[in-house]
Each structure stands twice: as structure tokens, then as C-alpha cells.
Chain A
Amino acid sequence: MGFFGNIAAGLRALVSGARVEREMDEELREFMEASVEAKGRAGMAPAEAARMARIEVGSTNAVKHHIRSAGWETKVEDLWQDLRYSARMLARSPGFTLVAVLSLALGIGANTAIFTLLNALLLRSLPVEDPAQLVLFGNGKWVGSVDDLPHKSWDLYSYPMYRELSQKNEVFSGVTAIDSIEFATHGSVSGESMEMLHASLVSGTYFSVLGVKPALGRALDEGDDRVAGGGPVAVASDAWWKRHGNDSSVIGKSIRIESKDYTIVGVAPPGFFGVTVGEYPDFWIPLSMEKEISPGWHGLEEKRFQSLYLIARIKPGVSLQRATANINLDFKQMLRGEYVGANPSQKDLASIDHAQIELTPAAQGLSQLRQRMSLPLEILMTIVGLVLLIACANIANLLLARGAARSREIAVRMAMGARRSRLVRQLLTESFLLALMGAALGIGAAWKGGQLLLAIASGHSEAPPIDVSPDARVLLFSLLLTLFTAVLFGTVPALRATRLDLTGSLKQGRGNAAGSSRNSLARALIVSQVALSLVLLAGAGLFLRSLVNLTKADTGFNKQNVLIFQLDEYSAGLPLDARLVNLQQQIEDRVKALPGVEAASFSMFTFNQGEWSAPARVQGVLRTPETGGDVLYNVVGTGFFSTMGLPMVAGRNFDAHDGAKSPEVAVINETMARKYFGGASPIGHRFGIGEDETQSREFEIVGVVRNAKYVALQEHPQAAAYFPYAQRVQYFGNFEVRYSGEAQQIIHAVRHAIAEVNPNVPIGSISTLSEQVDESTANQRLIAELSSFFGLLAVFLASIGIYGLMSYSVARRTSEIGIRMALGAGRMTVLSLILREILMMVAIGVAIGIPVALLGNRLASKLLYDLSPADPISLIAAVAILAGVAALAGYLPARRASRVDPMVALRCE
């Protein structure tokens, strides 16, 4: 019959069960008749022959059962039977089912939601051809540009380096370069209005190395990337194309971006978003257009303008080690040959010795978001994992109680001949059914929850464009998790329930043979729940207190009443000279004159927007480890300090006299003054940027301003210096306005004022300084909020467990309590008898939980601000909450016990 025949026969048996049954009956009858006949021929009396034949055949039902078991279909039938029976049993105790399914839904749902995020950010591969072959040069941690030779593993490379490395090597089938910054610009298709566009600058090899075929038109090729300015073409993303009419006639149209026309030559395939998870460029434009897209920040021909990520495809059969060795050889040769000149400085030579390219697998792509969120996500994953464990312990406890209550039913079934394995299987089926129902509900909730979590985590009202729809991996994870939980909470109760002293259970309605050991197991489960809850609560307390510390941290600047406009002055089409400065000053002056506006200024950075940092060389100060280290630089307008609310401590602010032709000046902060000048006044001293002594550009310090936070609230005081933009012309993004009164009116007035100065300056997003500060702590907020939620949930689950166990135990001990009371025990004695039992369990749980919590909190110490991981207040608060809730959960059953009427209790035996 073979494999397929077997399946076919099984299916036939499943579908037409009645006919198979009839055939079996007929065969058995025939067997019996033949036997009777043969016995008659051998001389046996007919009645005797019939009797013997019946004995031979035995129970026809048993025989039929055995015949049926020969096929696989009986397993399916058994399962179906078990499922139906389980559904009936669960429907009969809706309260239990509801509690179990809801707590499982919470547990599995939370795990699925967090895992969905983990998957989207950390695990999923790029939608490109054979992503496992892709490697990134470095770790992709840096963004922006570097101009020295880092004496460690490199992340960023210049365009000449890209050219040379991709030509020399023998281990890659292709190398592509991607600008580390995604440009936010403005542009319009002919006739349509201006819109905000995100452009990614890439080398001509980009699409071929990634193996991505355009959905329409052609991809970029090396011809587009040969000469600077020689590739005014663009490949649109699928999303942009769909927003703009979904029409194939788009190919050949031109789009004007920042006063330059680009021909749209192709459309990328759906789902392709580039190589950075969390960024969705609208256009890919050849790197040859760098100067046109980014006039203030470019350096295609400069060997030391290192701003590119390099991604390569390893040739098949070449190991990562070999590729690393090979590329590093080329790299060092290249650096020695061309990058340090004929007379290399000692420092450059030392740097080259330590410089290296670390190749890292790039199958999952790059992501700044990933670097920021992986630790928080891992912590959250641990937290929700613990919550699920607590939920499992709870359900196991409920099932134990149920098993005890069902001991009579189970005893009857065993007495009727059911095997223990069969009963265990049936009880486990019940657990699986519970777990599946919980999972269905939980996964449904996680579907939407993932998006929401992402939005909260990123600190924006809108989620970053990351695809968090559950894929096969997420579903597999949830399925395995469901099976795991069912086994975890179902096995022990099922084994317990079927380990019965049959006669005892049948005789007494209330089986108590396994009672005491059941109780000790239940107690152990409660203790572990208490311990786990304590760990979660203590962690939540830490994160909350750390968040409070962060929000109380002194920013230095005054974050209230400051609006930040994202302007794009580049669109006005002015070159980088006095004309641009003039425009910027006009805008500042016009806005400052508005009623309700107190101060306004352009600046390179406000807060948490990145940094421009380099060491400073100060005249007359020797370089020591203390005076080494980076200084943060910012370029600002004259109104910056009053806009940010940063008072001058010494000297003067920039003013109108600090122009392009006057001596270059700078304002430094208190930390920088102290670092380089100690107690002496820094006013009048000069410093330069970078370590290169031959650089002649130096700045005179004219003022000292109060310290502030620059990149993050957590940072230690940093040395910082400010330059006036009149002496350092550049395009800005930030335009900040300090106001009083109604923000909406100010926004409206500022828009008008800017349009009046120059209608070609588009205004992008508008936010406030305090929003920026809040966004910088979005991660901490997310962890604090979610860990508190899950911590309280854990305590709630544990208290349900305590309540359930104590109610059950009080009910079982009614007669004992009755006797005690009849013998003169007072209500308070009984009350304290029960409560003592609960507090004992809580105490043991706390004793186990505290060391675990201390150990676990150490892992989270990286995320804490101004707080020790062993913070006693969080721990004490956790213990207090836990003890309080546990006492409350135990009080209700204890009061019931103390109200037992001794007469009633004694009579019920």
C-alpha cells in the first residue's frame, strides 16, 4: 500500500467511519462462524462450539479497538476527542478559564510584541539578494564625517578610499559606498508643490552589489558616478512612486531638488528601503551629486573627508577571516602610500599601526535605532519573559487545585480502565487548549501593540517607518512559546492529578490523599511567584527613580518656551557667502521684532542632535591627559545664548562687530575655561581646533557662558565652544525662538515673517526644546513605564495565586478551624494563623528574590542615571508593595476562616 496508500486508507477511515466499522463487524462475525463450523466438524456440540468460539474471540470491542489502532487515524480521532472533552471541561468552569486565558494572553502577547520589535530591529535580513554575503566595513556606529586617521577600527571612509579599496581587492565581488547621512531636502516634480524629501547618496555600484532589480526603468550604474556633478539622475522608492500616482510615465520625468534637476530613471522594488533599518529614503542619487545635494558638507575628492559607509559582497567560498586579512593589507598599504604624505608625523604613523577594518556581517543592515534600542529591548524581553513565568506558575497552581477537585472524576475513569498515559494526555490537551486560546488573543493584541511600542520607544507620536508586521519567525516564536508554556504549567499538575490512591479517592468525595504534598508544591509555586515579582518590582522602581533623576537633571539651558523650526535655507538658492549671512540675519531680526518673541537665533545644534567634536589646542597650555579629549563645537547666532537662557559668566557675547573681516572669536563654557585655564581668566586667550599645529586658524576667547547639556542628559560636564555664524558661514537646520504667550500664534507669525523675508525658505517640522529634551529620554521612559506596568501585573498575578491557594486551603481546613474555635480559639487567633502562613511564604519569596534582584539590577546599571543598582529605596518599596498586596490577597480568605461557625464546621464532617 505504501506511504500514500496508508494516508489514503487513514483518511477513508476518518471520513467513512461507519463503513469501516461495518466491515470490521462483518469480518469478526465471519471469523466466529467459521470457528464454530470448524469446531462442529471436529465433533463439538453446537452450543459448546459457540461458547468456545466466543471465548476465543473475547471482547469484540477490544479486538476492534486493536484493529483500529493499526492505523494512524486513531491518533487524530483521539486528539479530536480530547479536544472536545477539554473544551467541555473548560466551558464548565468559565471563571478558571477566563483567568487562565487572560493571564496567558497578557504573557504571550507581551512576549510576542517585544519579540516583534526585536525581530524587526535586530534579526530580520535586508530584502536583498543573498544578504548573508554582505559585509560592512566597520560597525556603522559613526554618522557624519571624520578628518583624522582613527587609531582603531574604522567606520567611515572617504570617496577616494572607496575607489581604491574597491579596485584593489580580490575577495569581494563588489563594493558599494553609502553616505552615512540621509539627507532631508526639499524638491518638487514639475508643476507639483514642494515636498520634504529624504535622499540617500550612493555609489553607482549600489544596486548591483545589493542585487536589487528596479521595478521600473533602470537602476543607478557606474556611469552615473564617474565625474563629480555628472549624474543628475535618481531612483525613486516604491513608496514615493505610489504617493505620486503609481504611474509608469514617471520614468524620464525630472524632479527639482534644491534648484537642480534630476531625471527619474527608475523605481525601486516594493519593500526595498535601502540598507538602514528605520530610514526610508524617497530617492537614491549618485554620490557624484554630493555637492549639489549638500553644498555645505561635501568632499568627494578629499582623501580625508571620511563620511561613507562601505558595504561589500564577499565572493562565494571566501571566508570572513580571509577577506579581513586581505582588505586590511590593502588598507594599510593605501594609508602609508597616499594618506600621510612624504614626511608622516609620529602620530599619523602610530594611527596607521592601529588602524584596521573590521568586517562585520551586514545581512541585517545598518541601524542607529538598533544601537540605541537593543539593550532596552533585551531588558524588556527579560521582563516579559519573567511575567510569563509568573503567569505559568499561577495557572499551574490553579490546575493543581482543579486536579484535586477532579480527583473523583479521574479516579472513576481510571477504575474504568483508562490508562494513566491516556489521562495525562487528555489533561495536557486541556493545557494546550488554554495556551492556544491565550496565544490567539495575545498575538492579536501584539499585532497592534508592536506599532504602538515603537512609537513610544522612538519618542515621536508617529512610529518610525519600520515594518513590524509579524513574519514567519515571529509566528514560530509565539507558537514555540505557547507550546513551552503549556508544557511548563500543564505537566506537573497532570502528573499530580493522575497519581491517585484509587480506593481512597472513590470512597471520599473530597480526596485528600495527595493533599499535603500538593499543598507544598503549591506553596513553592507561590514563593517563586513572590520572588519573581520582587525582582520585577525592584527593577521597575530603579528605572522609575532613574527617570525621575533624569527629568530633574539640570540642563543648564531653560527648556521652557522655546520653539524650534527646521528651516531649509539652502532652498533659497544663495551661495555660502555674505548673502546667506545676510538672509539669516534678516530672518533673525524680523522674527525678533515680532510681539511675544523674546529672542531668536540660528544654530548648528540645539540639544541631542549630534555633535561636532575635536580636541582643542590652547596657546600656552601643554597637552596632558587632562587637557586632551574632545571639545564640543557649535555655530550660533548672536541671539543664541538669550534664546536658550544661558547667561554669560564672564566677558561678552558675540555682536554685530564680529563679522567676516574682524578677528575670529569664540565663546567657551565654564568647563572648558576651568579645564584649560584653571582659576585664571580665559578672556583674550586664543585656541585652535584639532591637533594639527600647522593649522593657523585660531580663535580669540571673548566670553564664558554657563555650562549646559549638549548631547544627552546623562553626560558629564563637557568642554564646549561656540562660534558666530557671521565668521563661519553655513546652512543651518535649526532656528529657535524664545517666546511668551500662545505658541500657536507665534508659530503663525514666524511663518509669515520668514515668508516675507524670503518665500523660498521652506519650513519643515516644528517642535519645542522641551519636546527635544523629552525625546532624548524616550528610551528610559519606555523602560520605566513598561517595567512598572509589568511589575504591577506580576504582583497582581501573584496575589491572585495567593488568594486562590488560601481560599482553597481555608475551605479544606474548615473542620480543623471549627475544632480550634470550639476549643476556645478566638477570631484573632484564627486570623493570625492564616495570615502567618501567607507572610511566611512572602518572607521566603522575598529572601530568595532580594539577591536575584540585586544581581539582575547590576545588568541594567548602564541604563541608570545617578542611581546605584543596589538602590535601597527601590528595594524597600518593592518589598512593601509586595507584602501589602499579599496580605490583602490573604486577608479575605483569612477573614472567611475566622467567621467559621464551629457548629456548622463540625457538622459537615
Chain B
Amino acid sequence: MTQKTGDMVQGTLEMLILKTLALEPMHGYGVALRIEQVSQGVFRVNPGSLLPALARMERAGHVKSEWRSTENNRRAKYYGLTAAGRRALNDETKAWGRQTAAIARILEARS
């Protein structure tokens, strides 16, 4: 089953990007690829959503960007987490945990 980002739960994209960047700084395509791979193809993020999200997060101070050379010697814009971004990831992960647990309880409840 594949799912488009449009169907992603509102606000989760930024959390996924934060989580992906928590390991190491990456360029845009790297983030998209990593999300697709780790979710085993469930989430496929296209640049129309990814790049605006990164721009928004940069404005919010959660990520910072710089131009670097890639492994095959091309220039690419690399994004990395800031301290504020790390805190945001922490908060959002906790909130997400609470929400999914609550949803799960509701779905499992017997009437």
C-alpha cells in the first residue's frame, strides 16, 4: 500500500523531517529518500511538500542550512538540526506518542 503525503496526518511531515535530520545533516533529496526507505515506501515525499516544509522550518529556527559538496562532488544545500529543532523533535515525539496511544485505546475499546 502506498500513501501520498497529502494524506499524511497534519503536521507529521515536519516531525518526520526533524527525526531524519536528527541523525546527520542531509540535503533535500536525501531526506525524501530516507523517509521513503525507512517507511518502506508508505510515505513518499515529493519536493513540492518537502522544500516548502524545510523553508518553513528554517524560518521557525528549527533547522539551519548551508551549501556543501556532496559525496559525488556536486553542490547541494544541506539541512541540519538546531538546538531549538532538537527540542521541537523531543516535544513532538512525546505528543505524538500520547496521541497514538489515545487513539489506540479508543479503537480497542469494546462497547
Contact = CB atoms under 8 A, between A and B. Distances in A.
Contacts of A68: 55
A678 interface: no
Nearest to B74: A30
B33 A38 contact: yes
B75 A28 contact: no
A23 interface: yes
Interface in B51-75: 51-52, 55-56, 58-61, 64, 70, 72, 74-75
Instruction: Pick the most buried of A2, A23, A34, A68: most chain B CB atoms within 10 A of its CB.
Output: A34
B30 interface: yes
A789 interface: no
Contact of A30 (B48, B59, B60, B77): B77
B6 interface: no
A58 to B, nearest CB: 5
Contacts of A38: 29, 33
A34 B59 contact: no
Interface string B15-34: 00000000000011110110
Contacts of B70: 34
Contacts of A24: 51
Instruction: Pick the most buried of B29, B46, B58, B72: most chain A CB atoms within 10 A of its CB.
Output: B29
A26 interface: yes
Interface in A1-31: 1-2, 5-6, 9, 23-24, 26-28, 30-31
B59 A56 contact: no
B47 interface: yes
Interface residues of B, number: 25
B56 A70 contact: yes
Interface of A is mostly: helix
Interface stretch (A59-67, A88-96, A228-236, A323-331): A59-67
Contacts, number: 74
Interface string A49-80: 00000001110001100111111000000000
A2 B72 CA distance: 34
A30 B47 CA distance: 11
A56 B32 CA distance: 11
Contacts of A5: 61
Contact of B77 (A9, A23, A66, A71): A23
B76 interface: yes
B28 A62 contact: no
A56 B46 CA distance: 6
B27 A69 contact: no
B59 A6 contact: yes
A5 B74 CA distance: 28
Given A34-B76, A35-B29, A56-B46, A27 B51 contact: yes
Interface in A499-558: none
A589 interface: no
A62 B47 CA distance: 10
B74 A33 contact: yes
Contacts of B49: 66
Nearest to A38: B33
Nearest to A5: B61
B102 to A, nearest CB: 31
A56 B75 CA distance: 21
A31 B29 contact: yes
Contacts of A66: 48-49, 51-52
A21 to B, nearest CB: 13
Nearest to B56: A70
Contacts of B56: 70
Contact of B48 (A9, A62, A70, A71): A62
Contacts of A58: 46-48
A67 B52 contact: yes
B86 to A, nearest CB: 15
Nearest to B60: A1
A71 B72 CA distance: 32
Contacts of B33: 38
Given A38-B29, A63-B52, A67-B52, A31 B59 contact: no
Contacts of A35: 29
Contact of A57 (B30, B46, B59): B46
B51 A30 contact: no
Nearest to B58: A1
A67 B48 CA distance: 8
Given A1-B60, A30-B75, A34-B76, A63 B51 contact: yes
A24 B52 CA distance: 11
26 contacts: A1-B58, A1-B59, A2-B61, A6-B59, A6-B60, A9-B58, A9-B59, A27-B76, A30-B27, A30-B77, A31-B27, A31-B28, A33-B74, A34-B27, A34-B76, A56-B46, A57-B46, A57-B47, A62-B48, A66-B49, A66-B52, A67-B52, A67-B55, A68-B55, A70-B55, A70-B59
Given A6-B59, A31-B51, A69-B52, 20 more contacts: A1-B58, A2-B61, A5-B61, A23-B77, A27-B28, A30-B29, A31-B29, A31-B47, A34-B29, A34-B76, A35-B29, A37-B72, A56-B46, A57-B47, A58-B46, A66-B52, A67-B51, A70-B52, A70-B59, A71-B59
